[in-house]
Structure 1
Amino acid sequence: MVTEILQFLIHNHNMKQLSTKEDMLKIISKRYENYFPEIFCKAFEKTDDTFAVEHKCASEEDIWKILKKKQIYPVKKHFISGELWKLLTQDLVRLKYQEYRQVTNSDPPSYEFLWSP
């Protein structure tokens, strides 16, 4: 399973396409779905080691939790980054540094940030 996920990740990287969890779950059988986090981590370790590729991906909720601990709030203007909400959800998206999208089948809707290829 690790090899199949690794091949998928490499293919998407070469095609400059994003890799989603939903797509990877289609590759592994239902029987191994519960082991997905382990399979995914092992595949990522191999891409990190072999190709010097660093992967980062975070939920919007996690981003705001981290920033809140640093007393940085989405609607408050920050002295360095300005309006952080706009920077993260619009400016960096427009410049194609990241994607900001709704998590598939999330109810209530939740969003995630994905670094672009």
Structure 2
Amino acid sequence: MTELSKPEEDLQDPEALPQEALNEMVANLMKFLLFEYQAKEMGSEAEMLKKVLRDNQEHFSVVFSQASECLPLVCGVEVKEVDPREHIYIMVPTLGLTCDAMQRGGQGLPKAGLLVVVLSLILQNRDHGPEEDIWGALNKMGVYVGREHSIFGEPRELLTQVWVREGYLEYRQVPDSAPARYEFLWGPRAFAETSKEKFTEYLLRVNQRAFRSFSLPSAEDVREEVGGP
């Protein structure tokens, strides 16, 4: 992911802009970038300034930086600069995962962000993700079994049926467990589209971001901005 190469002093002091106003700008820019992603089009800095920031163009650097960091975490989409001279960007699936292209022709909000989280949890659990541990982690993100999520729908169906059918996950009973316990593993399509090495590098980047002190707009805020799935 590429950030604008502007001097540090150009980044606006967070104290100079209310957090609520900053979050709204970030959510609006994420909306614009997601539309470009779904339309398979590139986005330019000039377009973002004209269509999104408008009267707040002086805040572009910090808004773009935060939107670029939110997209992989919320929607599984990364922003890459393809023309540094003209500042033109393209949105690509995080870590090469194409699950969103397989669902409803790629329409609606991307769900790859959740898949990245689940695959990461499995990797961190020595390649075996106990079901109770996976759901425990997802509960902290506001994703619950049996509760419809604004982006992901019913998550149990997504994890144990949709992504298993598509080959991204394996869902199986833990051998010799009594009473029966279940676990998630990487599926063959996950291995075909990405690698554990790429995930390890990604996790290092995400952990570094954890030390950043900005507030992420929620997935629900972005959904409202985009207009729903």
Amino acid in the other structure paired with 1:61: E
- Of 141, 144, 147, the residue aligned with 1:76 is 147
- Of 123, 133, 147, the residue aligned with 1:62 is 133
Distance 1:111 1:60 in 2: 6
Task: Give TM-score, length-normalised by structure 2.
Answer: 0.27
Q: Deviations over 1:36-76 (max 9, x none)?
A: xxxxxxxxxxxxxxxxxxx4431101011101122221100
> Partner of 1:106 in structure 2?
177
* Counterpart secondary structure, 1:81: coil
Task: Give TM-score, length-normalised by structure 1.
Answer: 0.51
> Partner of 2:168 in structure 1?
97
* Counterpart secondary structure, 2:163: helix
Amino acid in the other structure paired with 1:74: V
- How big is the shift at 1:107? 1.0
Gap regions ≥5 residues in structure 2: 1-122, 189-229
- How big is the shift at 1:84? 0.3
- How big is the shift at 1:81? 0.8
RMSD between superposed Cα atoms in Å: 1.2
Larger Rg, first or second structure (1 or 2): 2
Count of equivalent residues: 63
Point out 4+ residue stretches in structure 1 off by more than 6 angstroms: none
> Residue 116 in 1 paired to residue 187 in 2?
yes
- Of 146, 159, 164, the residue aligned with 1:88 is 159
